[in-house]
Amino acid sequence: MAVKLIKQENKSGDATLATQGFGKVTDWRPPVFDPIDDMDAAYDFFAGNGFVVLGNCLDESELAHLNEFMDRSQKERPDSWGLGERRKPHHRNQGLIFSQPLLDYPELDRYTQHPRSYLLVEKILGGEDRPRFAEFNFRETPEDGGIGAMNFHHDKVSEDRLLRDPYMPCDWLCAIHYLTDTMPGTPTFCVVPKSNRFEELREAYAALGNEYAEVPLYGAAGTCILYDTATFHTRFDGDGKRGRRTWHQYYARGGWLRSSLPTTDRYVRAPSECLTDWNLFPERLAMHPDPKKRLFFSHWNTAMGEWAATGFDPEVRKSMPRGEA
CA–centroid distance for 226 within its chain = 8
Alpha-carbon span 109 to 93, nearest angstrom: 29
Size of the site for Fe ion (CB under 5 A): 2
Question: Does residue number 157 form part of the binding site for Fe ion (CB under 5 A)?
Answer: no
For residues 54 and 174, which CB has a smaller minimum distance to Fe ion in the complex? 174
As measured in angstroms, the least distance from the Cβ of 152 to Fe ion is 9
As measured in angstroms, the least distance from the Cβ of 258 to Fe ion is 30
As measured in angstroms, the least distance from the Cβ of 192 to Fe ion is 12
For residues 1 and 119, which CB has a smaller minimum distance to Fe ion in the complex? 1
Name the one range near Fe ion by CB under 5 A: 35-43, 135-143, 152-160, 191-199: 152-160
For residues 62 and 155, which CB has a smaller minimum distance to Fe ion in the complex? 155
For residues 250 and 307, which CB has a smaller minimum distance to Fe ion in the complex? 250
As measured in angstroms, the least distance from the Cβ of 41 to Fe ion is 26
Residues between 189 and 218 with contacts to Fe ion, criterion CB under 5 A: none
Alpha-carbon span 95 to 70, nearest angstrom: 14
As measured in angstroms, the least distance from the Cβ of 241 to Fe ion is 24
As measured in angstroms, the least distance from the Cβ of 313 to Fe ion is 32
For residues 38 and 135, which CB has a smaller minimum distance to Fe ion in the complex? 135
Question: Does residue number 1 form part of the binding site for Fe ion (CB under 5 A)?
Answer: yes
List beta partners, residue 268: 258
Instruction: Kindly provide the b/e burial profile for residues 198-209, where b requires at least 16 CB atoms within 10 angstroms of the residue's own CB.
Output: beebbebbeebe
Alpha-carbon span 214 to 19, nearest angstrom: 12
DSSP assignment of 192-242, as one string? -TTGGG-SSHHHHHHHHGGG--BEEE-B-TT-EEEEETTS-EEEE-TTSSS
DSSP state of 270: P
Name the one range near Fe ion by CB under 5 A: 1-9, 24-32, 156-164, 255-263: 1-9
Instruction: Kindly provide the b/e burial profile for residues 109-133, where b requires at least 16 CB atoms within 10 angstroms of the residue's own CB.
Output: eebbbbebbeebbbbbbbeeebbbb
Whether 122 contacts 287, CB under 8 Å: no
For residues 194 and 293, which CB has a smaller minimum distance to Fe ion in the complex? 194
Whether 227 contacts 174, CB under 8 Å: yes
Exactly one of 155, 171, 214, 237 binds Fe ion (CB under 5 A); which one? 155
Name the one range near Fe ion by CB under 5 A: 95-103, 137-145, 147-155, 303-311: 147-155
Alpha-carbon span 234 to 237, nearest angstrom: 9
Nearest-CB residue to Fe ion?
A: 1
Residues between 41 and 70 with contacts to Fe ion, criterion CB under 5 A: none
Binding site for Fe ion (CB under 5 A): 1, 155
